[in-house]
Amino acid sequence: MIRDTFVRNPLFPMAGVLCAFWITATSLVADSTDAESLPIIKFTYSPAHGLGQEKGVCRRDPSDVIKVGDTYYVWYSKVLDEPGAFKYPHGYSATIWYATSKDGHHWEEQGEALGKGGPGAWDEEGVYTPGILVADGKYYLGYDGADKPWSDVSPASEGLAISDSPDGPWTRHPDNPLNRPTQPRYPFDHPRNFDSFRVCDVSLIVRDGKYWWYYKGRGHDRTPAQTMMGVAIADDPAGPYIKHAENPVVQGGHEVLVWPHGKGVAALIGWVGKDGVNRTIQYAPDGINFRAVAHVPNPPGAPGGYRPDAFTDIEDAEPMSWGLGMSHPDRGDPYLYRFDCDLSGLDLGD
């Protein structure tokens, strides 16, 4: 589903003004001893020029950022406030657009990357919340899709589109959707599966020669705050992706941003979710068994990061240091902004 970003994410009072947030410990971590022992991460925020607030335009849910040659690329959901836009600005009837930048601060929108599916398709109503993978000289765009106007009883699945160039054209995978809600073992087991209702929000990395598809899952009769994070793994970038037996790998996480960090995998957990899990950076030496290693009281909304070693599969990966997030103001149109952080000194304990 769309990465629901609550209004508490950082905003800038005016374009061009840098807002730095010096973090102090709070009671959001369930155990006070744990809160005192976790290091505090400082994030700073600045405009993403060219993708800022624009009347009647909703830009939201940016992908992770990649660099091709000397150019950065990002994909995102876009929908206009016009007839046919379902519940604007939620983005359920969006299509996926993309923008490029030479410096990561000034962006130029290039156009639509992926439109809606055809009549009767699983993604007929909208495509949104993209994630990106680069492998074997090709580009793999993961995304969410809806077959009808969204409601509280609508399930969600994820698909993949493939291209030889970051500029497209994109071809949908013939077996879409590749990631579906987990089916129950028995009728009464259905609500117990953490991802029995919706699977959304893909973040892709390469690790141990395999392709890891991290996603959020939500069960029947569960709220957004009860969303958890899972992973599916494939031998080929086009799949099939097999869900890991130890899912969920994080007991929270309504927005998914994962990156290789050192010898393991790190994840930024945002505003919404279980106390002690939300507003943290989690780390797993094996990519599966995550634990909190830092406290982040003001994480970016619906973030996508620039992850230098997301697809290199090396043993000492460089940490994420910047990316794009989404502002969802009380009034006005959602837009994208830039975040920066320094995770180089994070104690991973491995």
Q: What pLDDT shows up at residue 92?
A: 83
The residue-averaged pLDDT of 310-325 equals: 96
- Which residues constitute the domain of residue 85? 19-341
Q: What pLDDT shows up at residue 120?
A: 92
The residue-averaged pLDDT of 257-265 equals: 97
Looking at the chain, the whole-number percentage of residues with pLDDT higher than 90 is: 67
Is the preceding omega at residue 177 within 30 degrees of 0, hence cis? yes
Range with the largest mean pLDDT of 4-18, 74-88, 175-189: 74-88
Q: Is residue 5 part of a domain?
A: no
Q: What pLDDT shows up at residue 276?
A: 79
The residue-averaged pLDDT of 172-198 equals: 80
Angle made by CA atoms 133, 151, 5, in degrees to the nearest 5: 55
Pairwise CA distance, residues 186 & 201, whole Å: 27
Residue 187 has pLDDT above 70, yes or no: no
Condensed to tens digits (0 to 9), the pLDDT of residues 34-80 reads 544 789 998 999 999 999 999 999 999 999 999 999 999 999 999 99
Residue 275 has pLDDT above 90, yes or no: no
Q: Is residue 3 part of a domain?
A: no
The residue-averaged pLDDT of 114-129 equals: 94
Looking at the chain, the whole-number percentage of residues with pLDDT higher than 70 is: 86
The residue-averaged pLDDT of 172-185 equals: 89
Residue 15 has pLDDT above 70, yes or no: no
Q: What pLDDT shows up at residue 23?
A: 28
Secondary structure string (H, E, C) spanning the chain: CCCCCCCCCCCCCCCCCCEECCCCCCCCCCCHHHHHHCCECCEEEEECECCCCECCEEEECCCCEEEECCEEEEEEEEEECCCCCCCCCCCCCCEEEEEEECCCCEEEEEEEEECCCCCCCCCCCEEEEEEEEEECCEEEEEEEEECCCCCCCCCEEEEEEEECCCCCCCEECCCCCCECCCCCCCHHHHHHCCCCCEEEEEEEEEECCEEEEEEEEECCCCCHHHCEEEEEEECCCCCCCEECCCCCCECCCCCCCEEEEECEEEEEECCCCCCCCCCEEEEECCCCCCEEEEECCCCCCCCEEECCCCCCCCCCECCCCEEEEEECCCCCCCEEEEEEECCCCCCCCC
Q: Is residue 287 part of a domain?
A: yes
Q: Is residue 12 part of a domain?
A: no
Q: Is residue 9 part of a domain?
A: no
* CATH code where residue 34 lies: 2.115.10.20
Our measurement of the distance from residue 199's CA atom to the centroid of its chain's CA atoms, rounded to an integer in Å, reads 12
Condensed to tens digits (0 to 9), the pLDDT of residues 323-333 reads 999 998 877 89
Residue 217 has pLDDT above 90, yes or no: yes
Mean model confidence pLDDT for the chain: 86
Q: Is residue 2 part of a domain?
A: no
Ranking 32-41, 89-98, 109-118 by mean pLDDT, the lowest is: 32-41
Higher pLDDT residue, 66 or 271? 66
The residue-averaged pLDDT of 283-290 equals: 97
pLDDT band at 139 (very low <50, low <70, confident <90, very high): very high
pLDDT band at 13 (very low <50, low <70, confident <90, very high): very low
Residue 191 has pLDDT above 50, yes or no: yes
What is the number of structural domains in the chain?
Answer: 1
Q: Is residue 172 part of a domain?
A: yes
